[in-house]
Amino acid sequence: MIYQVLEYLRHYWGMLVGKTSTLADETSGAGISLDPRLLLGIIILLTICMASSFWAGSIAGSRRHPLLLHALIGAVAPIAYPATIMFTLDLQGAKEREQAKLDEEAAAEAEEAERVRLAEVMGRSPTPEDEDAGAEAESETFDEEYFKRISRNETGQLTGPWLISYNNQSVCALNIAECLDQVVVVEIETPGGDRQRIRIRYVLIEGCEHA
């Protein structure tokens, strides 16, 4: 950015010196006397305005803002304007991109929360991406209502298998067959490969999660 400003100034200074020399020759030939101090002051003022204009335009262009507009303002308010926008002019579109990122994160969090809620409604422990299954199990009440809720999915199909912990032991239930007042009836596979139904009292159940 500074290199561009210096290049513009060098080009402008050469042009300004040439024009001044020509003007001095013409006025001298016409017998018109110019005050050198006034001429020098005008040259310095124009140089400052042009430098400020190039500076402001360069800053605006590098931050994706309208270059010409800021260059004109920089010429009208020399030095002060480009010095101000150097610290206050943000990259165009940065705020919009930041807001879009925040919206995406919020949407992702809402989607994650909804997935966990659906997992709970369907009666399964959320996957590791959702949350720790053990933590959920600790907060559950393993009663008739709980097992009725998890026994079937939204299409009415039996769910399972389930790993049920009770009375300091665990059993792998292929499905939940029936939910009674005091006990839950589950179907297990025997060592011989047959299926058998057993009853487990709710008060003894310590945990239940997908196997």
Give the pLDDT confidence score for residue 130 in this predicted structure.
47
Give the model's pLDDT for residue 139: 61
Residue 131 has pLDDT above 70, yes or no: no
Query: What's residue 12's pLDDT?
Result: 64
- Write out the chain in H/E/C secondary structure: CHHHHHHHHHHHHHHHHHHHHHHHHHHHHCCCCCCHHHHHHHHHHHHHHHHHHHHHHHHHHHCCCCHHHHHHHHHHCCCHHHHHHHHHCCCCCHHHHHHHHHHHHHHHHHHHHHHHHHHHHCCCCCCCCCCCHHHHHHHCCCCHHHHHHHHECCCCCECCCEEEEECCEEEEECEEEEECCCEEEEEEECCCCCEEEEEEEHHHEEEEEEC
CB neighbour burial string for 33-49, b if at least 16 within 10 angstroms, e if fewer = eeeeeeeeeeeeeeeeb
The C-alpha atoms of residue 173 and residue 186 are separated, in whole angstroms, by 6
pTM (whole model) above 0.85: no
| 179, β-bridge pairs | 184
CA dist list (Å): 106 to 96, 103, 110, 128, 149: 15, 5, 6, 20, 30
Q: With contact defined as beta carbons under 8 Å apart, do 210 and 161 qualify?
A: yes
Tokens of 209: 């999660």
pLDDT of 192 over the 70 cut: yes
pLDDT above 50 (res 84): yes
- Please write the tens of the pLDDT for every residue from 16-69: 666 666 766 666 666 666 666 777 787 788 888 878 888 888 888 777 777 788
Please report the pLDDT score of residue 76 as a whole number.
85
CA 26 to chain centre: 65
Least confident interval from 26-30, 79-83, 100-104, 139-143? 26-30
162-179 pLDDT, tens digit each: 999 998 888 999 999 999
